[in-house]
Structure 1
Amino acid sequence: MRKDFEDDSEPLISVRPNKPSRDCDDCKRQDKNQLDISMHRLNTYKALSNETYLCLTSVDPILEAFLLSQELSNNACDEPELQIEYEEMNIRVRAYAVDLLNECINSEESKLLLNEQYGAQNVGEKIQEHFTRVKIARYLDQKEFIAHPITQRLLRIEWLGEWSTLSRQLRSPVNKFVSHILSYAIFLAILFMHSEFSENSNLHGPPRTGLEYYIIVWVLGLTWLLLKTLVAQGSKKFFSLWWNWYDLINLIAFYSTFLFWGLSYRDLLKNNHSNLERKYWDSFDPTLIAEGNFAIAKVLAFGKLLNTFQINKYLGPLQVSLGRMAYDILVFLVVYFLLLLSFATGLNHFYYYYQGMIKIEKGGLKKYQIPSFTTLVQTYKTLFWALFGMSPIESADVVISNYDSEKNAIIDSVKDEHSYTQTVGYILFAVFHLIAIIIFLNIMIAMMSNSFQKVQDNADVEWKFARTAVWMSYFEDGRTLPPPINLLPSMKSIMKLCSGQMFRKKKGKGDNVFDEEYQKLITLIIDRYTRHKLKS
């Protein structure tokens, strides 16, 4: 074991190296020896990530492997020069946790291991009765551990639930999921019908289809569901999940729509101009703003169906790939914006003088200066849409006015053209197309293809990890009734409120207290793991 490490990592220690920081006194004192510090940290982590060392020194090697994996992942980002070494250690540590799980020989041992609550609060997880260790693994991105057949089999059993009585059937996660999907499908159908019925109405003020009341009630139910999710998950975990942010933004779009519906109704009562034609409306009329916000809310509402696709074996990996590609597009847009900024500044400086110029040619035909580059905002628009081939090539033309509006006469002494200005404009416009379309666009396509291929190469693990997130969101109590029925107080909630249990904190075994059975199981697992390693 010792031959793989440098001398400065011996003897093996249990203290973690501190993270490099400008606020750390030790780092300030040793600032001149950064190379020695980085190598010492690397060799120390080599020792700490050794499987034998973890077995001998850790009271809970699985949780220790999870936490160590997260540290190694962070170190790979903090020290890119040593990224490959830290990633190799990270892969080995993650495989070690999976190997220990693989040593469970029956369902009782597997359940005991996956339900262990030790260390939950240290990683921001609330103490739960079922699959606490799986929730920790999901929070720390341990995909291989979650995708293991033992974990997936027990999760599937929990997902299907018990069917001995009607109440147990209704509380089973799969029935909760089906009821929520049906409820949401009805909500989407109402949104669709609202769009169809609104096409025949061009009145000023809020829509009058009669479906608005159902939409408001449904949104209230979705809000209550999101609030209960916030309480169940805790603020730290809740705001770390992108789909929660998606739901929050969607609800904000709906509530802003309702707000401007109210403002437009108040304006209607005040001025009584419901039959006023749209062409006379103000640019920021409450009705127009409500329509825009409602359009955004509808798009987001239908887009939420992507989260449901994670259940499906074929659509699940595709949904994961779309998420990775969205990140690639954001990275591309940041770089593209810098390119846009540089060319927009130059082109606008070249063309701003020619804004609004009109040239009267022979025969009285008027030629106007195209406003593509005459203002900075218009220049941004022209260059952005040029990426999609929607900007005219005549955008770089220069028109010199030969018409005097005061004298209402044509000025013959004006030059016909500024050929140098127009040539430079065309060259810059062509260079932008060359860089943006031929180079940048193909780079983005390559990035997206790479992300898609990474997911496809590990499709089974990626899909099971994403599916587990959906499954476990229905494991907790409190999501039995879908929106908007969840707005009605259930008998269970009334009994809890009367007995005071609703405001009483749920007690667990304790964050730093081991179950004796779990301690015995860990000892057996390590013994089996050691014997298998010696045989191999």
Structure 2
Amino acid sequence: MNKKQKSIQILSERLRPGLHDVDRQYLESCELGDDDLVRNLLNSGRVSPDQEDTQGRTALDLAIANGHVSLVVFLSGKVGPKVIHQGLLCAVENGREEICEILLENSIYQSTLKENTNEYSSIEGIMSSNGDKVSEIFDDDSSMRCKTSQLSEMTIKKMLKEALIKAAIRNNFQIVQMVMIKGASVDIPHDYFCSCKSCLDEQTRDYMVFCNRRLDTFRALASPAYISLTEEDPVMASFFLSKKFKQLQVMETEYKSTYEELDSQVQGFTLELLNQCRTSEEVRYLLDSPENDESSPESFPLLHVALQMEQKKFVSHPKCQAQVSALWFSGLKGMRHLNRFEFLMLSIPLGMVILPILSLVFILAPWSKVTLLLNTPSTRFLSYTCSYITFLCLIVLGKIQFSNMWVSLGCDQTTPISYVIIVLIFMWIIGWIWEEIKQLFDQGAINYFRSVWNIIDSLMLTFLLTSFTLDFVIPIRLRSAMAFHQLNYNVSGENININQLLFCYEVGEGASYFSPDNQCPTSTVGVDWMPDWIPDPELIADIMFSAGIILSIARISFIMPANETFGTMLVSFRRTFGDLVKLLAMFVLILLSFSCGLAALYAAHVCQTPHFQGFSGVIFVLIWSLLGFGEGNTPVLNRSAPMTSITNNPSRIELTEWFGYAIYGVYVFAAIVVLMNLLIAVMSNTFQEVQDERDTEWKFSRTELWMTFIEPGCPVAPPFNIIPTVQNVCTAWKKFLSICVSCRKHKLKINKKRKSKKRLDEEMTYSPSCPSSRQSVMCALIQRYIVQASREKLESDEDASEDRIRRLIERTSSRLDKRLDEITGHVQHVDDHVSHVDQGEKDIQQMQKEEMKMTNLLLKTQEKYREMLQRQWEEGQMFRERRLQEVKSMRGQREHLLQQHMFEEARRLEETIADTLEEADYIPRTTLA
């Protein structure tokens, strides 16, 4: 085929001929729903049932789009499988549930797959109502099977899967249910970095088509209709989908906005399910674990999952917060009236005095009522806060104010209070370490180190334990080393034994270790630390304590979420610190570039400048200049000092200074003017985002704080948690005696009983049983959500239905006007030829009279028809307004009944409201015969 023939073929494909009058009449009749005319045209054989218009729409598509059910039933028996599937997709897109049910009963969809497979596949280019590419399913050898309406199992599965995806994207519950009954399902797409053969082939064939398929599949999976009908626990499934979409936002940045919308959609679905809860019991069942049959009063497993997956809107929902608050104030409901940060600050000094006494009572008598008081979450929070503040005060006094106390351990005489303080410090450290170990075992290493607070606690305790251990060991080891050498020195005219530290003599004179006047000794002994490459342990102890005390005091911010203002500030600090880290990379790039330039420029003038001396010196100067400690004459050189240049040209100093001022000025402008203001702008934006969602952010952080104390744990805080209680001792002693007394025969009997019980439990678990209470509540919530979604859809479609009826009336009127113009033209044509007709004048006049009568009759019919349409439309509107007014009145009565706690009457009234709404949604339809 030459170039000319190829161009002629392309043009012939583009310049398709228009529709014939018969084809246009056939398509218009299908659009208007004229069954008799369509049947006559098809029975006559003048048109093809698969005829398409210029937009690629078939007659079946036009009938489906306009809701002509009887015509769809007739045409479905005339067209081929490809047109039927195209019509099914058109019905799905237009939300025609009745038509979808009719088309799914067609013979081409009868042979369905019973088993779900993990193969990721979808229809390639199915032709939709908007004129997409024709499907490749019906090409080649499949066309023969299409004629006999016998398709393969895989082909039917692909067709149903495509319809299911489209229905799920439009969130149509009824159509999704119809298609899923046929055996269709949607599989999760493979990983983004999957290298299997199918993924590689699809990416190689067309990467854009591959990405669009992934997006459509994820849209279907995120549909509330699909989640409600396929997942046993829709809330948990929505959480995992939300986490998946957040991960895909990072990997597939080109579709970040799409995944953000899907994430917002699934989170909104969980909020809607939570809104459907009518009682506190339903909320507790919803927040409970799917494995539990009864709601746990102590903790909510689903809430822990929401916290881990950062479902902030779900956690901060009022109904969820109400249950968390009920757990927080359980046992001390009077504390709810004192739920203010000021009362917490006032209760801390009081708790530091009372709670140790209550903790000792719990250790000695754990069965007393004190246990109920200490085991409440709010009391545990207050206990741990008081214990932590006491611990901070103790380590600050023991290390900073009374630092000489540790040196006294190397003396012959040490006051008892020193041992008391040291023992308390180590007991507190061991108690906090024990708490962290229990938390590590309960949560696991991954979940434990996922929290920033746990990492801070680990580092803080490591630093403090190392520091105080070295402070405890160094004086004792130094004293033993000096005692081993037994050397005498004459210091200040006295014989002093070097095996005693010089500080011990001042203590022996009556000075106190804890006196602020005794901080510096009057005499010292020179000691050279050997070897130099081994660090000084005393220096290590001081460094470790410095790092530990910084983290310890910063850790007090964990109580800030208890107050809304401080909690929001803490969230803002976290976000802005993240912004600072992001901009730090740009600052490091600018710093390195200008440091290298200035270091190279002043390499020959190292002796003439006190600032730009080498690469490290330049970096030091530029960093301090960024913080506002730079000098304006930094690039100036000392002309009296020698140069290290080969040419040794004194005139180059001025040019060096001038170029140094230029580079230094550009650096100051780029780093201070640009980067600093950019950082301020980014921080302001982040702070404003937090302020916009301050209620959600604060409640989420507060829930994280509360749930750490709501979880079951030790009622007493460190250091009392390392002291075994009387109950623990009795329990351990009983277990020990039972182990010693029990014989092997008794053990065998117990094992047999356990095995039989375990076998019985397994049989009961595998046997069909009635659904649990949580599953019943979940089903009820889903049904309520479906009803509410259907009502909202009907209300949103009111305007669309009015526009559709208005367009139908306008289209009918235009066609009537066109017919009248044709009749008028025919009358005019007859009038023009009357003068040329000699014979049959009377017949012609009679024909003209009949034509005029027909015209008048048609005009009157048209006018009556328009009046009838207008009258029916006004009656429908008045009928709907009356029904809506009745619904509004009944809703007010229902609110009044609810306020009076007359729930049964309110429920009956709600059913009456639903029936009235169904009556109000009926609008009489009018068609042109």
TM-score of Structure 1 vs Structure 2, range by shorter chain: 0.7 to 0.9
Do residues 490 (structure 1) and 725 (structure 2) align?
yes
Greater Cα shift, 340-349 or 469-478: 340-349
Identity of aligned residues (%): 26
Do residues 344 (structure 1) and 601 (structure 2) align?
no
Q: Does 1 or 2 have the higher relative contact order (CA < 8 Å, sep 6+)?
A: 1
Aligned with 1:390 (options 629, 651, 654): 629
Task: State how 1:33-182 maps to structure 2 within 5 Å.
Answer: 33-118=206-291, 130-162=299-331, 165-182=369-386
Could you give the per-residue CA deviations for residues 166-193 of structure 1, whole angstroms, max 9, x where no partner exists?
A: 3222100100000001111111222343
TM-score normalised by L of structure 1: 0.84
Question: For 2:409 and 2:664, how far apart are their aligned partners in 1?
Answer: 45
Do residues 323 (structure 1) and 574 (structure 2) align?
yes
Could you give the per-residue CA deviations for residues 398-434 of structure 1, whole angstroms, max 9, x where no partner exists?
A: 3356479xxxxxxxx9837612222222221111111
Greater Cα shift, 330-339 or 430-439: 330-339
Greater Cα shift, 482-491 or 467-476: 482-491
Aligned with 2:200 (options 28, 53, 56): 28
Question: For 2:439 and 2:462, how far apart are their aligned partners in 1?
Answer: 17
Number of the residue aligned with 1:216 = 426
Report deviation, 1:117: 3.9
Question: For 2:253 and 2:212, how far apart are their aligned partners in 1?
Answer: 13
Secondary structure class of the residue paired with 2:254:
helix
Number of the residue aligned with 1:19 = 191
Q: CA 1:344–1:493 in structure 2 vs 1: closer, same or farther (change >3 Å)?
A: farther
Number of the residue aligned with 2:618 = 379
**What is the letter of the counterpart of residue 392 of structure 1?**
E
Could you give the per-residue CA deviations for residues 91-124 of structure 1, whole angstroms, max 9, x where no partner exists?
A: 11101001101111111111111112449xxxxx
Number of the residue aligned with 1:293 = 544
Question: For 2:250 and 2:714, how far apart are their aligned partners in 1?
Answer: 38
Report deviation, 1:129: 6.2
**What is the letter of the counterpart of residue 628 of structure 2?**
G
Report deviation, 1:459: 0.7
* CA contact 2:576–2:686 (8 Å) conserved in 1: yes
**What is the letter of the counterpart of residue 346 of structure 1?**
G
Do residues 441 (structure 1) and 676 (structure 2) align?
yes
Question: For 1:135 and 1:534, how far apart are their aligned partners in 2?
Answer: 32
* CA contact 2:331–2:373 (8 Å) conserved in 1: yes
Q: CA 1:195–1:252 in structure 2 vs 1: closer, same or farther (change >3 Å)?
A: closer
The structure with the largest alpha-carbon Rg is 2
Number of the residue aligned with 2:492 = none
Secondary structure class of the residue paired with 1:181:
helix
Secondary structure class of the residue paired with 2:599:
helix
Q: CA 1:162–1:62 in structure 2 vs 1: closer, same or farther (change >3 Å)?
A: same
Question: For 1:296 and 1:354, how far apart are their aligned partners in 2?
Answer: 40
Give RMSD over aligned pairs. 3.5
* CA contact 2:186–2:217 (8 Å) conserved in 1: no
Aligned with 2:781 (options 525, 529, 532): 525
Q: CA 1:85–1:201 in structure 2 vs 1: closer, same or farther (change >3 Å)?
A: same
Number of the residue aligned with 1:248 = 458
Q: CA 1:414–1:194 in structure 2 vs 1: closer, same or farther (change >3 Å)?
A: farther
Question: For 2:526 and 2:579, how far apart are their aligned partners in 1?
Answer: 41
**What is the letter of the counterpart of residue 378 of structure 1?**
G
* CA contact 2:432–2:719 (8 Å) conserved in 1: yes
5+ residue gaps, structure 1: 120-126, 358-367, 405-412, 502-506
TM-score normalised by L of structure 2: 0.50
Report deviation, 1:351: 2.6
Do residues 426 (structure 1) and 661 (structure 2) align?
yes
Question: For 2:725 and 2:685, how far apart are their aligned partners in 1?
Answer: 49
Q: CA 1:41–1:256 in structure 2 vs 1: closer, same or farther (change >3 Å)?
A: same
Could you give the per-residue CA deviations for residues 449-501 of structure 1, whole angstroms, max 9, x where no partner exists?
A: 11111111011111111011111101222231111111112345446655779
Greater Cα shift, 162-171 or 89-98: 162-171
Report deviation, 1:522: 1.1
Report deviation, 1:277: 6.1
* CA contact 1:400–1:417 (8 Å) conserved in 2: no
**What is the letter of the counterpart of residue 197 of structure 1?**
Q
Do residues 190 (structure 1) and 446 (structure 2) align?
no
What is the number of equivalent residue pairs in this alignment?
502
Report deviation, 1:201: 9.2
5+ residue gaps, structure 2: 1-90, 96-124, 127-160, 166-184, 334-368, 483-497, 503-520, 737-757, 793-929
* CA contact 1:206–1:287 (8 Å) conserved in 2: no
**What is the letter of the counterpart of residue 315 of structure 1?**
F
Secondary structure class of the residue paired with 2:602:
helix
Q: CA 1:255–1:201 in structure 2 vs 1: closer, same or farther (change >3 Å)?
A: closer
**What is the letter of the counterpart of residue 387 of structure 2?**
S
Aligned with 1:270 (options 460, 466, 481): 481
Secondary structure class of the residue paired with 1:394:
coil
Could you give the per-residue CA deviations for residues 255-310 of structure 1, whole angstroms, max 9, x where no partner exists?
A: 33235435643356536676676998879533233222212211111111111101
Number of the residue aligned with 1:460 = 695
Task: State how 1:220-239 maps to structure 2 within 5 Å.
Answer: 220-239=430-449
Report deviation, 1:140: 1.2
Report deviation, 1:25: 4.5
Could you give the per-residue CA deviations for residues 31-66 of structure 1, whole angstroms, max 9, x where no partner exists?
A: 433322221111111111111121122221111111
Task: State how 1:464-479 maps to structure 2 within 5 Å.
Answer: 464-479=699-714
Q: CA 1:75–1:202 in structure 2 vs 1: closer, same or farther (change >3 Å)?
A: closer
Secondary structure class of the residue paired with 1:21:
coil
Could you give the per-residue CA deviations for residues 348-367 of structure 1, whole angstroms, max 9, x where no partner exists?
A: 22334433x2xxxxxxxxxx
Question: For 1:206 and 1:320, how far apart are their aligned partners in 2?
Answer: 47
Secondary structure class of the residue paired with 1:236:
helix
Secondary structure class of the residue paired with 1:418:
helix
